[in-house]
Amino acid sequence: MKILIVDDENIKLVSMRDYLARRGYEVDTAESGEEAMELLHMSMYDVVVADLKLPGMDSIDHLKRVKEGPNARAEVVVITAYGSIPLAVEAMRAGAFDFLTKPFGNEQLAAVLERAAGKRKQRRKEEARGREFAREISAQVVGDSPRMRQVRDMIEICASSDANVLISGETGTGKDLVASIIHKNSRRHSYPFVKVSCALFPYQLFESELYGHEKGSFTGAVRTKKGRFELASHGTLYLDDVDDIPYELQVKLLRVIEEKEFERLGSTTTIRTDARIIASTKKDLTRCIAAGLFREDLYYRLNVLRINLPPLRERK
C-alpha cells in the first residue's frame, strides 16, 4: 500500500515514514500543502495522512482538492491537535476517512491504516460485484429499447435499496427473473428468497402459508408450521401475482407490512419480521382499486419502487 504523509514537523514526519517503511508500506513525504499537491499529481496513493494545520494552506480546502483530483479514491487520514477536534469533525464530513489526535504513537497510525486498507479492499469487492451485476443484467434482461434500458437501470436501483418493489408486466415477461436478480444482488443476498405464488393457494390456506399455524389450529393442522414471512427472515419475500390475493385477506397483509409483526394461526405470540417485500402483478392495480378488488393503502405500501416490464414484442 502506498502512503503519502504530509506534516511540517520534520522529526515526526521522519519517524512515521521510517516506522511504516519497516512494516512494508511504500511511503512518500511532503512538508507543505504545495509539495503534497505536486506529488498527488505525479503519483497514485492509497492513503494520504495529512496534518490539518499546514502553513500557507487551508486544511479543509486541501482535503477537498485531494478528493477532487487524480487521487480522489485515496483514503484521507487527518492529524489534528487536541483543541482542534471540531475541525477534524468538519474534515470527516468533507470526506476524510479518520483522524488522529496529537500526540499519537506510530502504532495508532498503523491501526488506522489497517482499517483504511480493509475499507479499500471491501470497496474493490463491491465494485467487482457491481460490474458482475451489470453483466448479469445485460445477459439476462435482454432488449435495446429505451424502455428496457430503463428497466435495467431500475433493477440496479432496487438492488441497492431496501424499499419494497412492485414489478408489473404481462405473463411471461420475466417478473420472477427480475425479482430473483434484485434479491441476489441486494444486501440480503445471503438470506432466503422465498416465493409465494398467490394464485395457487385456496382462500382457506392462504393465511396459513403466509403466517404459519400452530398444531391443532384448524382441521388438518397436525403439526406446527412456519409461514413464508417467517421463512424469509432477513431475506426477501416475493409475492408473485399479488393481484390474486382475495380482498378480505389484504388488510392483514397490510398490517404485517406496516407493523412488521404477525401471529401464526392459533397463536397469540407475536413474531417480528424484517423481510423485504417484492411483489409482482399481471394486472393494472389502479384499475383493480377502482373496481374494488385491491386495497389502495396496500398498493402504496408495495409500490415504493416500481419496475414496468414491457411485453416481449416491444423490446427490440
What CA–CA distance (Å, rounded) separates 87 from 85? 5
**Among candidate residues 124, 151, 179, the one where a domain is terminated:** 124
Residues 170 and 258 in one domain: yes
User: For position 80, which CATH number holds?
Assistant: 3.40.50.2300
pLDDT at 219 over 70: yes
User: pLDDT tens digits for 53-105?
Assistant: 776 666 677 777 788 888 888 888 888 875 566 767 777 777 788 888 888 88
User: pLDDT tens digits for 222-247?
Assistant: 789 999 999 999 999 999 999 999 99
Give the chain's domain count: 2
The strand pairing partners of 270, in sequence order, are 263
Residues 79 and 157 in one domain: no
Residues 87 and 156 in one domain: no
**Among candidate residues 124, 153, 180, the one where a domain is terminated:** 124
Within a 10 A sphere around the Cβ of 174, how many other Cβ atoms? Answer: 19
Would you say residue 267 lies in a domain?
A: yes
Residues 263 and 147 in one domain: yes
Residues 175 and 309 in one domain: yes
User: pLDDT tens digits for 2-16?
Assistant: 999 988 888 888 999
The 3-state secondary structure of 214-267 reads: CCCCCCCCCCCEECHHHHCCCCEEEEECHHHCCHHHHHHHHHHHHHCEEECECC
Domain hosting 291: range is 142-314
Residue with the bigger pLDDT between 111 and 93: it is: 111
Residues 77 and 203 in one domain: no
- pLDDT at residue 306, as a whole number: 95
User: For position 281, which CATH number holds?
Assistant: 3.40.50.300
Q: Which three cell numbers stand for residue 113?
A: 491504516
State mean pLDDT over 110-130: 83
Residues 255 and 309 in one domain: yes
What CA–CA distance (Å, rounded) separates 80 from 34? 19
User: pLDDT tens digits for 255-301?
Assistant: 999 999 999 988 899 999 999 999 999 999 999 999 999 999 999 99
Would you say residue 129 lies in a domain?
A: no
What are the helix and strand counts (H, E) for the chain?
12, 14
Would you say residue 206 lies in a domain?
A: yes
What CA–CA distance (Å, rounded) separates 277 from 264? 19
User: pLDDT tens digits for 133-182?
Assistant: 777 777 777 777 788 889 888 998 999 899 999 999 999 999 999 999 99
Query: In Å, how far from its chain's centre is CA 44?
Result: 28
Residues 172 and 250 in one domain: yes
How does residue 188 score in pLDDT terms, banded at 50, 70 and 90? very high
